[in-house]
Amino acid sequence: MTTTRRYGPFQSDDPESDVRAYKPLPRASAAVDHEAIRAEMIDYFSARHRRLRVEKSTHTPRGQILDWIPIESQLRKGNIASPPPRSELPSGTLHHEPELLAAAELEHADCERGPAGTVPVLRKKLEALGYTKPLRQYLSKTGGQPVLNFRGRGVVMPGPGARGTHRLATSSQNLLCFGGEGLFSCFDPYVDNSDEHSLIQIGLSNSDLGAPQTVEAGWQKYPDILGDWVPHLFVYYTTNGYARDDDDLGGYNLDVDGWVQHDDVIYPGTTFTPYSRFAGEQRMISIKYQLWRDNWWLSCQGRWVGYYPARLFMGNQSVFSTLGDHADSIGFWGEVASFDAPPSRTDMGSGHFGHEGWTRAAYMHNLRVQTGRESTMVDYDGSRGLYASDPSLYDIDAHFHSGTPWGSYQFVGGPGAG
């Protein structure tokens, strides 16, 4: 099956040239006070910005505003952790056509940078948000609703009564682990509405206490979070099964406290260019999480971007039964979340099904899991956790322990309701 490429509001035939902000029309609802929501969210994010010790503000070619802050100002005592040793990116291609790393925006020579000793914090585009839901729902990945573990595995699903629908094409593996990694393709998915999202990601979780705790990262287009119609690097965490997102409890990027920025080039919310092209050149980003000296470190393109302190997950519990000590499941998946329960037209990946394969579907390869505390990496095996919530909309084509240069890999995607 083939599909016709679709573009969202304000998008041109060349999505990489589209840097315009948008002002989406609120979904009709007599029960929603948009002005009250707008005031609440502007107050919240303005207060967060006032707390920053900004040394310099810069603009990127894609219209992002970066506030550069002293790295030590992120923590009360200024004790920024040291990252793990540098790890080499997987190499080798399964096909004749080469893959290339996409470039982060600040890697381009024409991007202005901050002073030495500072790190970038992405400023929220307050003028571009939809203001369609209250702050607590906006901050939450599941609308503030509890989640269920899918058949006891690490993939988490919204519980009964959750707002909207998450559709998945996923694999997962249950085992004691301390990290994982993979190379992800960089397609630009069509997203039907500003309050919907499309992503491919890694997630590590611990459910020893019942409610899952997770660290997550990946490639996501979510207009209501970042105020534009292009994909971004995202990070997310939850300490309480997605029940509430707030400072030191969970949330996206730097919308809440928790994340500590370390790198001065790649940051949560950064964009990459160029994109993968359907039936053409393929671009990719590397994503790696590693639990190192009591911090969950994230690497992207071989750079240690930042970390979540393990203390976030401990609370009043024993460290040994939380994500602060280990994960008990790892997963790699594609996900589309829509406001309405009926199937969305939002793409997953390229908008083409996983079974269409190389250059046509989004991929994730050289998937590996860290099974020891000292960086012992083995090929990932998600064969017992394969799941597509609706294969007629989005599917997954997986090859674990393939014996090829791609190791364990999978294709995911689909056009949704078309």
Rounded to 5 degrees, φ, ψ at 392 are -75, -15
**pLDDT value at residue 342:** 79
Which pLDDT band, with edges at 50, 70 and 90, does 89 fall under?
Answer: confident
- Residue 131: its pLDDT value, please? 83
| φ, ψ (nearest 5 deg) of residue 319 | -60, -30
Residue 3: inside a domain: no
Q: Domain of residue 202: give its range.
A: 99-117+145-413
State how many domains the chain has.
1
Comparing 25 with 400, which gets the higher pLDDT? 400
Q: What is the pLDDT of residue 152?
A: 43
Confidence check: pLDDT of 297 > 90: yes
User: Would you say residue 125 lies in a domain?
Assistant: no
131 located within any domain:
no
List, in order, residues 6 or more apart from 403 with CB less than 8 Å away.
Answer: none
Asked if residue 94 is part of any domain, the answer here is: no
Cα–Cα distance, 73 to 54 (Å, whole number): 10
| pLDDT for 164 | 57
Assess if residue 62 is contained within a domain: no
Query: Is residue 160 predicted with pLDDT exceeding 70?
Result: no
Q: Report the distance separating Cα 353 and Cα 357, nearest Å.
A: 8
Mean pLDDT over residues 308-320, rounded? 87
Percentage of residues in the chain with pLDDT exceeding 90? Answer: 71
Looking at the predicted structure, is the pLDDT value of residue 371 above 90? yes
Q: What is the pTM of this model?
A: 0.91
What pLDDT score was predicted for residue 15? Answer: 39
Token pair of 87 as six digits: 């790890």
Q: Concatenated DSSP letters for 105-155?
A: GGGSTT-----TTEEEEEPP-GGG----S-HHHHH-SSTT--EEEGGGSS-
Mean pLDDT value of segment 72-88:
91
Determine, yes or no, domain membership for 174: yes
Q: According to the model, what pLDDT value does residue 52 have?
A: 97
Instruction: Note the pLDDT of residue 117.
Output: 97
Mean pLDDT of the chain: 87
Per the domain annotation, does 237 fall within a domain?
yes
Q: Say whether pLDDT at 8 is over 60.
A: no
Is pLDDT of 317 > 80?
no
pLDDT of residue 78: 86
Confidence of residue 91 (pLDDT cuts 50, 70, 90): low
Whether 242 maps to a domain, the answer reads yes
Query: Is the predicted pLDDT of residue 399 greater than 90, yes or no?
Result: yes
- Of the candidates 287, 277, 279, the one whose C-alpha atom is nearest the C-alpha of residue 186 is 277
Helix, strand or coil, per DSSP, at residue 256:
coil
Which of 349, 387, 389, 418 minimizes the C-alpha distance to 165?
A: 389
Question: Over the stretch 93-150, which tens digit does the pLDDT of each residue have?
Answer: 777 677 899 999 999 888 999 999 999 999 999 988 878 889 998 998 876 555 555 4
Q: Report how far residue 218's alpha carbon sits from residue 240's, in angstroms, rounded to the nearest whole number.
A: 21
